[in-house]
Amino acid sequence: MSKAQKKEAKRAAHTERRRLKRKQDNKNKRLARQEARKNILSGMTRQERQEYINNEREQEAQEKERLEQRLADNLEHGNLHICIALDFMDDMSPREKNSLARQIQWVWNDIVRKPELKIKLDLAPFAAGCPFEEDCRRFGFVHWKMNYRPQSFHEEYPMERVVVLSPDAETALTQADLQDDRTVFVIGGIVDKTVKRNMTKDLADQLQACCRRLPIKELAMSMNPILNINTVAEILADVKFNGATINDAIVRAIPPRKVNLPDRQSRKLRRAGEEHSPESSSNPLISSNSFSDSSSEESEVPVDVDAPVDVDASAGVDVPVVDGQ
């Protein structure tokens, strides 16, 4: 293991410890709040209790309305514009489409529905009542607040504002690429059980659009450079709203079990991550319960065709298989 890999493992272990502590702290705070409320209510008359509860409900309703207003503003004026391109439906099996719907649900749940992250999320092309809507319904589609665009991204936005993200792009995304709020980052709405290379890159080339990859191979970590849609969106949000560098955002977004760090420390880290959530991220933007929501979705729909996994015998770490790598 190189010095850089050791340093990276140490940093990842530290970040994971902090994430677990944050989760425990949040739980303790929630329990303390519940206890305090119970004490307040127990010292009240029946009528006082009823007034207190009514007041609580009113405040909750107002808070909900404010939240919905902020989300609606974000969808219109958000300063990180992401489009999930649904141009590849014919290339996916029913199971892959199901998995795509689940990843979109993660994008909604983990980042878009947090009003402090001013994200404008579009699905394009997406027509009401289209077959893919059925897949999305299994993952809470009725609650999603996104823009549904009738046409493909290349018909919806001026091409000079578009950056197509592709793991096969020649040029890496830089911090500067995220400066302009008018840029539309296009993420391929693709889940490919057997990796089909160049799908998004070929489309970008055809359209003569700007095409960028995340600078994963520049990092001193051995990992699959092909990420899920939600992970890519999470990285963009971390850079844009949390001031992270792209490299830090990548490291924070990748579940430890997907990084091939073959030493005792990384195995410990991986075990800790698996105990607490199947896809734990140390990105501070992502709440500790967001992944458990996702995993409960998983148990409802027993289909998972995210990156196929092979076991790297030398490391004892699950490493997704990448064609030709």
Ligand X SMILES: C[S@@+](CC[C@H](N)C(=O)[O-])C[C@H]1O[C@@H](n2cnc3c(N)ncnc32)[C@H](O)[C@@H]1O
Non-local (6+) Cβ contacts of 182 within 8 A are 81, 161
* Distance from the Cα of residue 299 to its chain's centroid: 19
Cβ 96 to ligand X shortest distance, Å: 10
Nearer residue to ligand X within complex by CB, 184 or 216: 216
Nearer residue to ligand X within complex by CB, 200 or 282: 200
Q: In this structure, are residues 118 and 74 in contact, taking their beta carbons and an 8 Å threshold?
A: yes
Nearer residue to ligand X within complex by CB, 226 or 317: 226
Cβ 227 to ligand X shortest distance, Å: 4
Name the DSSP class of 215: S
Cβ 271 to ligand X shortest distance, Å: 26
Nearer residue to ligand X within complex by CB, 71 or 319: 319
Query: Residue 283's closest CA among 251, 257, 315, 314?
Result: 251
Name the DSSP class of 173: P
Cβ 91 to ligand X shortest distance, Å: 9
Rounded to the nearest 10 degrees, the angle between the axes of helix 3-42 and helix 264-276 is: 30
Cβ 198 to ligand X shortest distance, Å: 6
> What are the residue ranges of helices labelled H in 208-303?
229-242, 246-253, 264-276, 290-300
Nearer residue to ligand X within complex by CB, 35 or 323: 323
Nearer residue to ligand X within complex by CB, 248 or 263: 248
Nearer residue to ligand X within complex by CB, 71 or 226: 226
Nearer residue to ligand X within complex by CB, 115 or 215: 215
Cβ 223 to ligand X shortest distance, Å: 10
Cβ 176 to ligand X shortest distance, Å: 16
Question: What distance in Å separates the CA atoms of residue 72 and residue 40, rounded to the nearest whole number?
Answer: 36
Question: What distance in Å separates the CA atoms of residue 40 and residue 274, rounded to the nearest whole number?
Answer: 38
The residue sitting closest to ligand X, measured at its beta carbon, is 188
Question: What distance in Å separates the CA atoms of residue 112 and residue 109, rounded to the nearest whole number?
Answer: 7
Question: What distance in Å separates the CA atoms of residue 101 and residue 304, rounded to the nearest whole number?
Answer: 11
Question: What distance in Å separates the CA atoms of residue 112 and residue 104, rounded to the nearest whole number?
Answer: 10
CA distances 152 to 125, 168, 286, Å, are 5, 21, 29
Binding site for ligand X (CB under 6 A): 165-168, 187-188, 190-192, 195-200, 213-214, 216, 225-229, 232
- Taking the CA atoms of residue 216, residue 219, residue 221 and residue 223 in that order, the dihedral angle to the nearest 10 degrees is 0
Name the DSSP class of 220: S
Cβ 318 to ligand X shortest distance, Å: 17
